[in-house]
C-alpha cells in the first residue's frame, strides 16, 4: 500500500475527501519527522514508538574489493512496534 492508497482508505473510514486525508497523513508524517529530527520520541499507544538513535562512526569493508570504508556517525530513525500491533499482525 502506498501513501495515495492509504489516504483513500482513511478518507473512506473518516468521511473525508481524498485530498483532506492526504493532507492529514502528510501532516502526521511531517510531525513525526520534525520530532525525530529534534531528538524527541513519538509514542503511539498500541501502535509503537518512533525514536532517533545515534550510530557511531565505524570502519566497514567493501564486499567486492575488501577495501576499508569509513562510515560516518549518523542519527537514524527506528521504529519499535507496540504489543497490540504485534498481536494484530500475528493473529
* Domain locations in the chain as residue ranges: 1-40, 41-91
pLDDT in tens, 44-82: 998 999 999 999 999 999 999 999 999 999 999 999 999
Q: Which CATH number fits domain 41-91: 3.40.50.1010, 3.40.190.150, 3.40.1280.10, 4.10.520.10?
A: 4.10.520.10
Adjacency order of strands within the sheet including 74-81: 42-44, 48-55, 74-81
Q: In this predicted structure, what is the pLDDT of residue 75?
A: 94
pLDDT in tens, 9-48: 999 999 999 999 999 999 999 999 999 999 999 999 989 9
Amino acid at each position: 500500500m502506498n501513501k495515495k492508497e492509504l489516504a483513500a482508505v482513511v478518507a473512506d473510514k473518516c468521511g473525508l475527501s481524498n485530498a483532506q486525508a492526504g493532507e492529514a497523513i502528510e501532516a502526521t508524517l511531517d510531525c513525526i519527522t520534525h520530532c525525530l529530527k529534534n531528538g524527541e520520541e513519538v509514542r503511539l499507544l498500541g501502535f509503537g514508538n518512533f525514536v532517533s538513535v545515534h550510530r557511531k562512526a565505524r570502519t566497514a569493508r567493501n564486499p567486492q574489493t575488501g577495501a576499508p570504508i569509513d562510515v560516518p556517525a549518523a542519527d537514524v530513525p527506528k521504529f519499535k512496534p507496540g504489543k497490540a500491533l504485534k498481536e494484530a499482525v500475528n493473529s
